[in-house]
Structure 1
Amino acid sequence: MKRLLLLIGALLLTPLAPAANLDRVVAVVNKDVIVESELEREVQRILSDLQRRGTAVPPRHEFERQVLDHLILRRLQVQLADQAGINISDDELNFTLQNIAQRNDMTLSQMRETIVVEGGNFREFRNDIRDEMRITQLRQKEVIDRIAVSEAEVERFLAEGGAAAAGRYRLAHILIPLPLDPSPEQQRRVAARARDVHQQLTAGADFASTAVAVSKGQQALEGGDLGWRNADELPAPFLAAVRDLAPGQISEVIPSANGFHILKVLESDAAGGRHVVEQTHVEHILVKVEPGREDEARARAQSLRRRILAGESLRDLARTHSDDPTSAIKGGDLGWVSSQSLVPAFAKAMQGLPEGELSEPVRSNFGYHLIRVLGRRSHDDTAAYRRAHAMETLRMRKAEEMTQTWLQRLRDEAYVELRL
């Protein structure tokens, strides 16, 4: 998601380069090609994003090669999504675009006008967002859904004190990758390359610019910025490397199975203690939106709302009409939930709803919801939070490593010819 939001922000605020006379093929990717106009457009987009961040830009040839690698990986994932039949309906895409516009304090029409006025192409913008959504679904299918975390792993994590996180860190990251099944000579060569990069950084080279130029991490073109992570969300070697570092300091080279890592602490803060959450007891009815039938779903939700206001039981209607099978069998009852566990549109509507009042139909990516709040409370959720957090932390650790390996295998197994 972070990658999607960064792409969205840059696309929304960056003029797109003209395509005229820039049609030379710069890479062959299986049976597809990437042309110079595509590369130049992406170069300009990322350049503008780096300039807004105040990140120094590496030499042009290094930067172009990094951007081309990024485009190749993106194209390979789109090709795989094609093969897997992963599609995004116009309704799903339009809903996402409306959310993007809202986050930028615009209507969808205003966002379209802004992109056009700044020299962009709204059709290309839509296509880029659709591809990012397809790639997200592909990674979910190919990587995330295959991750298993056992109860024994959770118990071991908790026993080692993993859930009592000692603070948070905002880190920047550089990965110098190893090939799959590297030979001893390849390991020595890559390790030497990592040490050389580390020496450049300790001698004063800009970390973000170096990440853009040399890192193969998933956030390389954002200067390697990983964002904020709880200490217990970091792989153990990462935490050991940064635990005693102050903001601005750089770790030693950290070896791993997929390469050599270098970290910089951008910011850090102290640990938290008890986890008290605001919870809401809520019930709902969900009306799913089938492709091309948005108006029909909205009308059905409105009809159910009128029936409830006229005296029919929400619980009875949920059992027979809700498209959420898990809650439907319980009469629409979701139990006590926190806003963080819900999709943003549902959470926002729930938070603003007085107890006992029935909402208007609320659109989320699942469909239209009718929501009623039954009660609110403050709840000490420390034990359950730590267990759930341990499970999610272990999943995230595995996801990062498995995604990196999956992308590397995808690239290694593809036919790629560079003509830059």
Structure 2
Amino acid sequence: MNMKSVLFSAFLFLIAFSSVVAQNDPVLLTIGNENVTRSEFLAVYNKNNVKEEPLNEENVKEYLELFINYKLKVKEAEALMLDTSKSFKNELAGYRKQLAQPYLSNREVTDQLLQEAYERSKWDIRASHILVKVTLNSSPADTLKAYNKIMDIRKKLVAGGKFDEIARKYSEDESAKDRPGRDASTTLKGNGGDLGYFSVLNLYYEFETAAYNLKVGEISKPIRTPVGYHLILVNDRKPALGKVQAGHILVKTVPGKEDSIKARIDEAYKSILNGEDFETVVKNYSDDKGTVSKGGMLPWFGSFRMSPAFVLPLYTMKPGEISKPVETDYGWHIIKLVDVKPIGTFDESKSNLKTQIGRDKRSFIARDKLVSKLKAEYHFTADEKVLKEIVPLITDSIYSASWLVPAGAALSKTVCTIAGEPYLLSDFANYLVHKQSQIKQGDDKYTFVKTLFNQYSEEMIIEYENERLEGKYPEFKALMKEYRDGILLFDLMDKNVWSKAVKDTAGLKSYYETIKENYKYGPRAEAAIYTCKGETELKALQKLLKKAPKKGYTPETISSMLNKDTIPAVTYQIVKVEKGVNALVDQTPWVKNQNSVYRENNEIKLVSVLNLLNPEPKPLQEVKGLVTAEYQNYLEQQWVKDLRNKYSWKVNDEVLKSIYVK
């Protein structure tokens, strides 16, 4: 078989295949030059069929009419080029960024991190550490030097050295050592490496993971974090404290007066044991000026960054209980536990944990997994030899974030490829200029370049994937089309229907005249409701009301005749109401000139029926909201009618029938 025969056979196969696809998914609707297939319509129908209505002729045809209207409106928006406006593009880009997120992260890893964080949140860890500093961009020689140093320290610990003593002597975390206080006479005592209690998302992920995997009393191997190498000793592990609200009495430490300070806190505690109110003891003894006026109350807090001695009693206390005096670096405390918010269920904690993980470096784990997958999928390559060519061009000005790419530098070589597409060294050099502030004084330039190149290649491959989401994921493409059409439709509906109905006051008034009979009052009574100062004033009012029909007295006339003093003897209000609106009018017989007296809560009221009103249309102002909504529906119907005449459209009845006939 020659090549021409092979190509012709392939061509016939493609025609046959296309024919099969067309038969399996025929065109249901054509609007202009756009075809809507049976499956596309059904996908939209099923998505919006939240009540799970049966797929019968009535429901399908009813929804098809709405679908045609929807498509015609979108067609009009496109004809008006609304999809080319800057505001539309910006809004759609904003939605796309949100919708793309699940496709640009490893959802399985994200879920694992979320579950891991929740499980860890159930426990508080107390740990000590020894730190040897070294940055992530240090040279290989400096990194090795730091590693050897931390290993030498570990040997001392394994040989039986006390952790706190070794920490005070060798740790580069300054809080481990004694250091001068605020004035020359005081010394801040070092913590010997003791970090106190902490929980999930309080410390570096690498540190946290090591601590949660260690047993109490166990010392870790060197753990690398962005600040250096750590040796970690877990001192304690407790069920999580959660968040607590507590009050305290503080008697501050005063150097040289330790005995009197202890005697004062003991005296305060004795007062509580003798039944004195906690808040009163706070006022009499506490040196914490910030909480004295609040009864000693502190803001809600957890275990992290609290003195271990202060937080330790809280693990076994119940709300309302008061601790014995406990000593911290600040002085002596008596603590009252007021309330506790324990760790919630996974569903209760999920949203907050997800937000925190998103801000934490551990979120990069999911990103790294995705990047590895994409690099394999798109056959990513990198040329380290080409990358090294930029290093001699980098001067020390990079440490002050002022380095610029030298003019005329030869940077046209390909430093990496994604799916065969080249990325030039010049592209990376420009990226380096914008990201150079990440380097720290003393960092090794080449190590920094490699770190930044990894960052650059990750961003480029995710950007490459992002640009292809619509072609790669049909459901994402459909979702984006739905959002696109929705934004276009909203803008056009607002212009032609919603805002128009509100702003077109003349049109609204004219439309009201055509439908006002639909908004009628029922039978109403017009009544005057009088309030009398006392029985004498009531009798005088009743006397005048008897004469009113003949004399033609109005409520205003009667009021002026009775009110001769600065304090009114009688007040009144006139109402026009249907049944069920005013209780007093409802109780009064609806007969013209009927007067009924009501006494309640030391008030004397008289209802006088002035007129009986026949049903009549309510004024526009009273029913404006309802009329506006009806006017909007009218405008939309007229607009859709025009669109159906403006654009050509056709339904394939046979395909339509195949949807609901089984």
Give the TM-score of the pair, scaled to structure 1. Answer: 0.31
Q: Whose radius of gyration is greater, 1 or 2?
A: 2
Give the TM-score of the pair, scaled to structure 2. Answer: 0.20
Report 1 or 2 for greater relative contact order, CA contacts < 8 Å, sequence distance ≥ 6: 1
